[in-house]
């Protein structure tokens, strides 16, 4: 693969090494990208106003609750157009499509 700078290559290599240099100081969950930890921190600092009626989890965004509910019910709304696989999250479908296209998203 060709990367536009050394930082992009380093981030890509973390996928292969399993390195997760960005660690949450609240729960110790770790991430490969800074943007992911910033989004994650919302669960600690934001008001959680969307509650699951099936369990004790609550969420800062309605879309997070919707995703949680799809996972609970097994609903897989995102169908691959090339094979029989289906996914609960569109991001997983996008990553899966690399198998068929060979192109990174």
Radius of gyration (Cα) for the chain, nearest Å? 17
C-alpha–C-alpha distance, residues 25 and 41, integer Å: 9
C-alpha–C-alpha distance, residues 99 and 105, integer Å: 11
Query: Is residue 95 helix, strand or coil?
Result: helix
Task: Identify the CA nearest to 11 among candidates 43, 27, 35.
Answer: 35
For the chain, what is the mean pLDDT? Answer: 87
pLDDT at 98 over 70: yes
Instruction: Quickly state the pLDDT bin for 79 (edges 50, 70, 90).
Output: very high
Show the domains of the chain with their CATH numbers.
Answer: 1-45 (3.30.160.60)
- Tens-digit pLDDT profile for residues 30-65: 998 888 898 888 888 877 889 999 998 988 889 889
The answer to whether the beta carbons of residues 40 and 29 sit under 8 Å apart is: yes
């Amino acid at each position: 693969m060709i990367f536009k700078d050394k930082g992009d290559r380093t981030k890509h290599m973390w996928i292969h090494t399993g390195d997760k240099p960005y660690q949450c100081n609240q729960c110790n969950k770790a991430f490969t990208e800074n943007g992911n930890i910033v989004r994650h921190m919302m669960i600690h600092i934001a008001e959680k106003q969307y509650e699951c009626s099936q369990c004790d989890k609550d969420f800062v965004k309605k879309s997070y609750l919707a995703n949680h509910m799809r996972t609970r019910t097994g609903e897989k709304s995102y169908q691959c157009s090339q094979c029989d696989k289906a996914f609960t999250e569109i991001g997983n479908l996008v990553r899966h499509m690399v198998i068929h296209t060979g192109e990174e998203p």
